[in-house]
Every structure is written in structure tokens, then in C-alpha cells.
Amino acid sequence: MKEKELRRSLAVLPIGTVMKLTNLTARQIRYYESQDLIKPERSDGNRRLYSLNDIDRLLEIKDYIDDGLNMAGIRKVFTQKQLEQEQFKERLNKSLTDDDVRKILHDELLRQSGFRQVKLLTNSQTPLQKPF
Amino acid sequence: MKEKELRRSLAVLPIGTVMKLTNLTARQIRYYESQDLIKPERSDGNRRLYSLNDIDRLLEIKDYIDDGLNMAGIRKVFTQKQLEQEQFKERLNKSLTDDDVRKILHDELLRQSGFRQVKLLTNSQTPLQKPF
DNA sequence: TCAATGATGTCATAAAACATAACATCATTG
DNA sequence: CAATGATGTTATGTTTTATGACATCATTGA
């Protein structure tokens, strides 16, 4: 999936392509940029370069405008969304490391047990075991 | 899936984007066009416009060149491939219409049976009926 | 070997696309 | 009604692209 993410964030589309893909005018697209709703990269010759993710974002902006939001409102929505996104990733990370710990623990115990059958009530460090 | 096909054949990418996406020079891309290996659309202002399918095709061309084929060879490969594609579709179509016939026949019989067990050899103009 | 061919590079020129900034328009709202 | 927000329009300068001509360099067939 990392491959796909990369493609989607590859900034290669000039503003003309973006216009066709979003049905927005260049004026609108640049204005949204001036309002910090989107931040395209630049080519060597200073041309704006957009990614597929940028396209998605512009379409999202269009939707919000249709819903009656103004630039400030959309900006808020985006920063809020980003916050949630970060929190989600953080939680995901945490749970993953917890899982790692569990896995490590499991392997450790497995090694200690020497692959013998688990006996309950042996002196203290009785290894847990899961049938694979 | 029709949606995706549409997107993939949407010609919106100018040659500069194609260069970045394929690592080919403009000279090469235009040359392959002059050799009938690819046929991009044109904008109102006569700029070449490529689709994602075109990108794929150009990458394919690159591969064939790496394999030692020349333009004529690649052209042959493509026309051959197209032939096979057409035959495949034809066969697919045929099988589909056969399937349609079967389905229609089945519905017909079902209707004639009036949801009773299908009895062969009844003459019966039994009224049609659809559940719900 | 040598000339022909194939693939690509490079250069020149004109046209199209783009960037930026300034001013115009038009609706909404305090 | 004046201020603000969103977008259109116009002007000017830069970058990209199209096309055609000529250059280079490797391969190949006679």
C-alpha cells in the first residue's frame, strides 16, 4: 500500500489538468491556495504542481462551498480533520507497539519453555503457551 | 468498473507530466508517436494530451526497447496484442449473449409455470407474474 | 569497410499555458 | 450603505510545448 500512497502524493499535475479534473477555474484554485486550503508544489520554472491527493482536496473544498461554508470554515474543518487523523495514527501506533510487546513476550516465554508442554503450577515463571 | 476505465482513458496529462511519469524525453515521446506507437489527443491549443493508459503504453514501449525491439517490432507486438484482445472480447460477447438467452429462457419458463413446479409438456399461457 | 538506417539529442522559432498583480463585479451582511 | 468575501477580467512577463531542421552515434547489411 505504500506504493499507492506515494503515487497519490506525487505532485506532477499542472494547473490546467487540475482545472479539467475539478471543473474549477485557475482563479479559484489559486485563491484557495492563498487561503491556505491547499499547498501545491512548484516546478523549477515556478509552475504549480498538484498531486491526486490535491485533486481530492479541491473536490472536497467544492463540496464544502456547496454546503455554504466559507474559506475560514473549510480551514477549520481541515485542521480539525488533521487533528483527528494524527490522534488516530498515534493510537494506532500505540496499539501496534503494545502488540509488539505481546509478541515479544510470547516468543520469549516460548523459548524459555523449550517447546515442552506447558505445566501449570510449576515454580513461578510458568510459560504461557498458545497452540500456534 | 466502467467508471475506472473512463478515468484511465481520460486524456488530460500534458507532455511535461508524461516525461516525469515515464522518464522519457519529449523527443522520445513524440518520436514514438511519429512511429504510430501511441496516439495522444490534442488540446484546443494543439498541445498533446495523454491518459493513464497512454502512460502504461509508454512504459511498455520502454520495456520492449530494453528487450531489444525496435519501433517496427513493438508495432507488431501491439497490433498482435490488439487482435487477441478483440478476439477475446468477441468470445466474451458471444458467451454473454448465450448466457442472456439462457437467462431469458429460464425466466420465461418460470413465468409460464406461475411459480408452480415447472411441468414440461404443458401447453398453458399461464399468466406472468413477478414476486413482490 | 562504408553507407544507410534507427533512435535520440540539440537548436530555433512561434504559439500556448501559466504566474502575478491590479482592478472590476456582485452578493451578503453587520 | 459600506465592508467583506469570492470570483472574473485584463495586462505583462516567463515557461512549456510544437514543429522542423540538423547533429550524433550505434548498428547493420552489402
Percent of chain B with pLDDT over 70: 76
**Confidence class for position B101, pLDDT limits 50, 70, 90:** confident
B8 and B52 in contact (C-beta within 8 Å)?
yes
Tell me how far apart the alpha carbons of residues A13 and B50 are, in angstroms, rounded to a whole number. Answer: 12
Residues of B with CB under 8 A from a CB of A: 12-14, 16-17, 20-21
Domains, chain A, in order of start with CATH, read: 2-68 (1.10.1660.10), 82-132 (no CATH)
Q: Count the residues in chain A.
A: 132
pLDDT for residue B114 is more than 80? no
Predicted confidence at residue A14, as pLDDT, reads: 97
CB contact under 8 A, B14 and A12: no
**Confidence class for position A132, pLDDT limits 50, 70, 90:** very low
Of residues B128 and A1, the one with the higher pLDDT is A1
Q: Which residue blocks in chain A are alpha helix, DSSP H?
A: 2-8, 15-22, 26-34, 52-66, 71-113
Cα nearest neighbour of B47 on chain A: A16
pLDDT for residue A95 is more than 90? no
Of residues A120 and B48, the one with the higher pLDDT is B48
- Least Cα distance to A74 among A83, A84, A85, A63 occurs for A63
pLDDT for residue A7 is more than 50? yes
**Confidence class for position B88, pLDDT limits 50, 70, 90:** confident
CB contact under 8 A, A17 and B16: no
pLDDT tens per residue, range A11-64: 999 999 999 999 999 999 999 999 999 999 999 999 999 999 999 999 999 999
Predicted confidence at residue B98, as pLDDT, reads: 67
Give the minimum alpha-carbon distance from B81 to chain A in angstroms, rounded to a whole number: 28
Which nucleotide is nearest, taking the CA of residue B14 and each C1'? D17
pLDDT for residue B34 is more than 50? yes
Cα nearest neighbour of A22 on chain B: B12
Cα nearest neighbour of A51 on chain B: B17
Tell me how far apart the alpha carbons of residues B75 and A43 are, in angstroms, rounded to a whole number. Answer: 34
Q: Which nucleotides of D are covered by protein (CB under 7 A)?
A: 5-9, 14-19
Residues from chain B that touch A13, judged by Cβ atoms under 8 A, are 13, 17
Predicted confidence at residue B91, as pLDDT, reads: 84
C-alpha cell, A79: 485542521
Percent of chain A with pLDDT over 90: 61
How far does the CA of A61 sit from the C1' of D1, in Å?
32
Tell me how far apart the alpha carbons of residues B3 and B21 are, in angstroms, rounded to a whole number. Answer: 23
